[in-house]
Amino acid sequence: MSPDEPRSGARAVDRAIQVLNCFEGDDPELSVSELAHLADLPVSTVHRLAQALVRGRLLDQNPANDRYRIGHGLASLARPALARLGLESAAPHLYTLAAGIRITVSVSVVEDRDAVTVFQARPPVYFCPNQVPPVRQPLRASAVGHALLAPSPISTIAEEHAERRNSQRVRTGGLHTDLDRVRRTGFASELVPTDDPIRAIAVPIAGPDKRVRVALAVQARSARLDADLVRSIVPAMRATAGRIGPLFQTHGGPTDSAFELESR
């Protein structure tokens, strides 16, 4: 075996991961040229990798148009992770909530400085694309991020870093005010400014150890998800969060506080 072979093999794996990461989102179908553009790789390389991934059942090729989509093999590989997180046990509760409030319910976890959507339960009726959140949202600038951050132990950090916090008060004050509001009301709210504004609502999910590393969220057109509907569905969201919280397995460290995020 030549010294170059391990490096070449590792590079092929890295590129295959780049191709798979192109499918992050709402179950898209992508052509070879689209994959090449998204992965920033040559078309010939992407075609070779995609065919290997099809043979491995990690991708599927639609015979009607030759476009690629996530394969059943990848879903099978993901099942242990979903079970370990607790989503398999929580799923019936999430679908019941979605059917009751007639809005898609999403579950997000912390990954670095982002909230990452890992599960969606769609309602049997009244679904529309506005209910699908971005796969990744910044912790400090989204409803689901604020729901994840609000319960974090910022009081201890404030005492330990008082001087540094004072020097950054102007920069972090708005975020801390938002998190205080989440702690008072029990939910986070965000208005996404688009041509047809979208409102997102999120509540924290406390695990068996009482730490919050998971959040439950919904979003819809703000014309529909108005103040009256928010008041109506938040109790149901919080009740579901309370029921499924004990199902989520303890993993990782505590969510970073707002001050820690701002200080990085």
Query: Mean pLDDT in each 10-residue stretch from start to end of the chain (264 residues)?
Result: 55 88 77 92 94 91 91 75 75 94 93 88 86 89 93 46 42 73 92 91 91 93 94 96 84 46 46
Q: Which of 180, 117, 164 is nearest to 260 (CA)?
A: 164
pTM of the model: 0.68
C-alpha 170/C-alpha 222 separation (Å) is 30
| Structure tokens given for 16 | 């295959």
> For residues 35 and 227, what is the distance between their CA atoms, to the nearest angstrom?
41
Give exposure, 204-233, as e/b (b: 16+ Cβ within 10 Å).
bbbbeeebbbbbbbbbbebeebeeebbeeb
User: What is the reported pLDDT for 8?
Assistant: 66
Q: Cα–Cα distance between 172 and 165 in angstroms, integer? A: 8
pLDDT of residue 35: 93
| Domain architecture of the chain: domains with CATH | 4-74 (1.10.10.10), 86-263 (3.30.450.40)
